[in-house]
Structure 1
Amino acid sequence: MYLTIKDFSNKTGLPPSKLRFYDKKGLLEPSVRLDNGYRAYSVEQIHLAKMIDSLRQADIPIQDIKLYCTVNEQEKKRILQTWKVDLDRRMEVLLAAQKYIGGINVENPQTLLLSKWEKEKHLVWQRFEVERKPHPFHAYFRSAKDHLEKHGIECSNQVYIKTDTITDEKIIGEIGFEAIKTIQKMNDESFRFEVVPPTLFAVLQECKADDAFLCFSYIQVVIRYGFQPAGTKLERYSNLSAETFDYLIPLVT
């Protein structure tokens, strides 16, 4: 039994315009051509049509659906798992956005922003133990960058700080730069290489290193928005001589 596009539309609940769109994209082509020259669908395609439309409603890209419809059962399971991971990540981003919108207070100046690294970043870190004081790592920015350039590692001028340990007298942490070009494997233990995946950050802007209330302010802002950090917080300086920094709080990777 074969169905015209009108009958198939009635059976599936999908408008003819959508069926024609799926046909044009190669997702759901009518299975036969009738004697009168019109193309028709088979009854067996009803479930496929509904499944394709359901996947589109789940915001699955057309090319991904086309691939899913052509592979074997094992590969289908792998693709489904990939979709699930991606949807879970997108859900986390939406929840973070919801918290952000809910935390905005129009009566107060905005203190927190959202920023997303759309692509992975390749960071090169160097470890330092410094005296505990305001701007403890600032004096080492230039030497850290020079050390990279000496080894032929081209990097940006933005500086990242990651603090590991704080004692009464010392601070142990890392100074990092984003590599501009792909880095070949090196045996130099003075460098640590890290690939950071696309990440959504909450950002406190224009922070001052000598602000004694910075940590308290950060905690209050995080509580206000209901965020939970999803990794290590970063300080980002715009250049080697910058006196202020952005505080990056990872929310979703």
Structure 2
Amino acid sequence: MELTIQQVAAKTGLSAHTLRYYEKVGLMEPICRAANGHRSYQSHDLEWINLLMHLRTTGMPIADMQRFAEMMRQGDRGIGQRRQLLEEHEQKLLVQVKELQDTLSVLRDKITYYRAWEDQQPHLDD
């Protein structure tokens, strides 16, 4: 499977500019070029982009994503470091999830309170 940068942008929702940026800053290996000189993305490139998108969605800083990409280039030698980086990120996410759950609980309590208050109010006939 070979895809152009526009096809990858359409599939991923990332802009062509972002895809070029990811390559430029070392988040991606240089993309193979077709005979016409245009980028030619392979299925493994899409898998990697998918992982980058997930890391970005979780708020991982670009610098950490770059470190992770560099560790990937080390092959099996970098597995322990990659695991450690992801575990550290996981711990940050767990804290964020707990904070969101606590906030959601407070919001739900307020919603319940306001519904109960509204239910006790006399309804005016229009």
Cα distance between partner residues in 2 of 1:100 and 1:15: 34
- Residue 52 of structure 2 is aligned to residue 55 of structure 1: no
The residue number in structure 1 matching 2:18 is: 21
The residue number in structure 2 matching 1:122 is: none
Q: Greater CA deviation, 19-28 or 93-102?
A: 19-28
Structure 1 runs not aligned, ≥5 long: 107-253
Count of aligned positions = 104
Higher helix fraction: Structure 1 or Structure 2?
2
Cα distance between partner residues in 1 of 2:57 and 2:14: 17
The question of whether the paired residues in 2 share the 8 Å contact of 1:5 and 1:40 is answered with: yes
Structure 1 residues 48 and 38, CA, compared in 2 at 3 Å: closer, same or farther? same
- Residues 26-175 of structure 1: matches in 2 within 5 Å? 26=25, 27-28=27-28, 30-71=30-71, 72-104=78-110, 105=113
The question of whether the paired residues in 2 share the 8 Å contact of 1:23 and 1:30 is answered with: no
Cα distance between partner residues in 2 of 1:101 and 1:2: 48
Higher strand fraction: Structure 1 or Structure 2?
1
Structure 2 runs not aligned, ≥5 long: 72-77, 115-126
Higher CA-based Rg: 1
Structure 1 residues 21 and 41, CA, compared in 2 at 3 Å: closer, same or farther? same
Cα distance between partner residues in 2 of 1:5 and 1:30: 13
Cα distance between partner residues in 2 of 1:102 and 1:88: 21
Question: Which residue identity does 1:102 align to in structure 2?
Answer: R
Q: CA deviation at 1:7?
A: 4.0
Cα distance between partner residues in 2 of 1:103 and 1:44: 46
- Residues 161-240 of structure 1: matches in 2 within 5 Å? none
Name the % identity: 20
3-state SS, counterpart of residue 40 of structure 1: coil
RMSD over aligned CA atoms reads 2.8
Cα distance between partner residues in 2 of 1:2 and 1:91: 38
The question of whether the paired residues in 1 share the 8 Å contact of 2:5 and 2:19 is answered with: no
